């Protein structure tokens, strides 16, 4: 495993583990996954040196936090535990009470990273950051983070908090490179971290799926990326991943992760549906892409133009009512 030094003697693994899948109906992995496989995934991740574990109060309505906390056991104290508040009522007393509830579900004395899940569209961050400040003062929260924030709003959150907001968790993969515009340069120059979610584009970049083999669950049925036309369009990118993968005796998924964490300010939190996947994902931290390979992947990704927005809507509706 490789680690990112975030200051104050704290290092976090470049490949973490995302746990939206744990206990969430929308991923459709079922009871034995929530009851057994998820635990085995966490235990194996710890063995492999993964220290960044990401969850949220809304994942499975608290079930993900419970499953993760129970699986970590005493290791809760030595890993970097990250959870999120969904800011429906972002006033300081609510933030404080929700942090305590998350810590209780996780069985943790401290939340190493407490993130605002997404910007509240009507309430600015002054009130939520007042709660965060109080939580940091009493030691329940280590670092504050945000998620799905623009650069302007990330900076405004820092101003409201009065100290660094360590990270911004955003979608970042070869299928969506928008954070490169301003978030990555800011993070690199200011010593902040971009936590890449959906680094495998929810499995698309593994190359397992095509128009005749589409994943069946609510998350991906609702994603334009998995429409048959877009799966066709992704063929060239998957082929580019395969070529690089062959050169490293690796898989396309591993190369997709190695590409994401090649940027010095980025860590990735892939989810996993099996222990085999978590092993493969952790091993991706050891893959060093050459400049030529990195460039070839950048070019293939620039050629990938999925149908999105209103143009994709009719396909999504057809898929939903089929």
Ligand X SMILES: NC(=O)c1ccc[n+]([C@@H]2O[C@H](COP(=O)([O-])OP(=O)(O)OC[C@H]3O[C@@H](n4cnc5c(N)ncnc54)[C@H](OP(=O)(O)O)[C@@H]3O)[C@@H](O)[C@H]2O)c1
Please tell me whether residue 270 binds ligand X under the rule CB under 6 A: yes
Site for ligand X in 238-257 (CB under 6 A): 253
Between the alpha carbon of residue 5 and those of residues 10, 35, 115, 142, 166, the distances in Å are 6, 34, 19, 15, 12
For residue 106, give the nearest of 22, 166, 9, 47 by alpha carbon: 22
Please tell me whether residue 272 binds ligand X under the rule CB under 6 A: yes
Site track for ligand X across 36-75, x = CB under 6 A: ------------------x---------------------
89: its two tokens: 């009522």
Please tell me whether residue 90 binds ligand X under the rule CB under 6 A: no
Q: How far is the CB of 138 from ligand X (least distance, A)?
A: 25
Distance, in Å, from the CA atom of 19 to the CA atom of 272, rounded to the nearest integer, reads: 8
CB 204 within 8 A of CB 178: no
Distance, in Å, from the CA atom of 298 to the CA atom of 35, rounded to the nearest integer, reads: 39
Please tell me whether residue 203 binds ligand X under the rule CB under 6 A: yes
Please tell me whether residue 198 binds ligand X under the rule CB under 6 A: yes
Residue 10 or residue 275: which is nearer to ligand X going by CB? 275
| Position of minimal CB gap to ligand X | 18
Q: Total residues contacting ligand X (rule CB under 6 A)?
A: 28
Please tell me whether residue 200 binds ligand X under the rule CB under 6 A: yes
Distance, in Å, from the CA atom of 280 to the CA atom of 12, rounded to the nearest integer, reads: 18
Scored b (16 or more CB within 10 A) or e, 63-87 reads: bbbbbbbebbeeebeebbbbbbbeb
Site for ligand X in 120-179 (CB under 6 A): 147-148, 169
Provide the 3-class DSSP secondary structure of residue 204. Answer: helix
CB 108 within 8 A of CB 69: yes
Distance, in Å, from the CA atom of 294 to the CA atom of 11, rounded to the nearest integer, reads: 25
CB 1 within 8 A of CB 38: no
Q: How far is the CB of 245 from ligand X (least distance, A)?
A: 11
Please tell me whether residue 271 binds ligand X under the rule CB under 6 A: yes
Binding part of the chain for ligand X, among 17-25, 38-46, 152-160, 242-250 by CB under 6 A, reads: 17-25
Binding part of the chain for ligand X, among 3-11, 130-138, 182-190, 275-283 by CB under 6 A, reads: 275-283
Residue 134 or residue 153: which is nearer to ligand X going by CB? 153
Please tell me whether residue 21 binds ligand X under the rule CB under 6 A: yes
3-state helix, strand, coil in the chain (%, to 5): 50, 15, 35
Residue 161 or residue 175: which is nearer to ligand X going by CB? 175
317: its two tokens: 């509706």
Please tell me whether residue 269 binds ligand X under the rule CB under 6 A: yes
Query: Could you say which of 39, 199, 230, 265 contacts ligand X (CB under 6 A)?
Result: 199
Q: How far is the CB of 96 from ligand X (least distance, A)?
A: 21
Query: Could you say which of 206, 230, 293, 301 contacts ligand X (CB under 6 A)?
Result: 206
Q: How far is the CB of 27 from ligand X (least distance, A)?
A: 6
Distance, in Å, from the CA atom of 175 to the CA atom of 193, rounded to the nearest integer, reads: 20
Instruction: Kindly list the catalytic residues.
Output: 59
Provide the 3-class DSSP secondary structure of residue 305. Answer: coil
Binding part of the chain for ligand X, among 41-49, 195-203, 234-242, 305-313 by CB under 6 A, reads: 195-203
Binding residues for ligand X, rule: CB under 6 A, are 18-21, 54, 117, 147-148, 169, 197-203, 206, 208, 215, 253, 269-273, 277, 280-281
């Amino acid at each position: 495993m490789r680690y990112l030094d975030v200051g104050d003697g704290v290092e976090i693994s470049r490949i973490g583990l995302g746990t939206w899948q744990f206990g969430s109906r929308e991923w459709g992995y079922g009871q034995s996954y929530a009851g057994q496989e998820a635990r085995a995934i966490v235990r194996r991740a710890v063995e492999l040196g993964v220290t960044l574990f990401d969850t949220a109060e809304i994942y499975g309505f608290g079930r993900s936090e419970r499953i993760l906390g129970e699986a970590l056991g005493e290791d809760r104290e030595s890993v970097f535990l990250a959870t999120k508040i969904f800011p429906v009522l972002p006033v300081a007393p609510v933030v404080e009470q929700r942090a305590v509830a998350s810590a209780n579900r996780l069985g943790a004395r401290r939340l190493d990273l407490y993130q605002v899940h997404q910007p509240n569209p009507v309430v600015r961050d002054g009130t939520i950051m007042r709660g965060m400040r109080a939580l940091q003062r009493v030691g329940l929260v280590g670092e504050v983070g945000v998620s799905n924030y623009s650069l302007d709003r990330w900076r405004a959150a820092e101003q409201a908090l009065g100290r660094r907001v360590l990270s911004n968790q955003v979608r970042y993969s070869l299928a969506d490179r928008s954070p490169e515009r301003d978030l990555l340069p800011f993070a690199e120059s200011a010593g902040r971290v971009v936590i890449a979610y959906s680094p495998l584009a929810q499995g698309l970049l593994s190359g397992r799926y095509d128009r005749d083999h589409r994943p069946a669950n609510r998350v991906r049925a609702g994603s334009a990326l998995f429409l048959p036309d877009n799966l066709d369009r992704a063929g060239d990118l998957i082929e580019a991943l395969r070529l690089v993968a062959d050169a490293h005796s690796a898989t396309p998924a591993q190369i997709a992760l190695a590409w994401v964490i090649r940027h010095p300010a980025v860590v990735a939190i892939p989810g996993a549906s099996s222990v085999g996947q978590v092993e493969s994902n952790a091993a991706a931290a050891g893959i060093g892409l050459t400049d030529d390979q990195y460039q070839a992947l950048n070019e293939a990704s620039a050629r990938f133009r999925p149908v999105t927005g209103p143009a994709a809507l009719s396909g999504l509706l057809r898929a939903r009512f089929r």
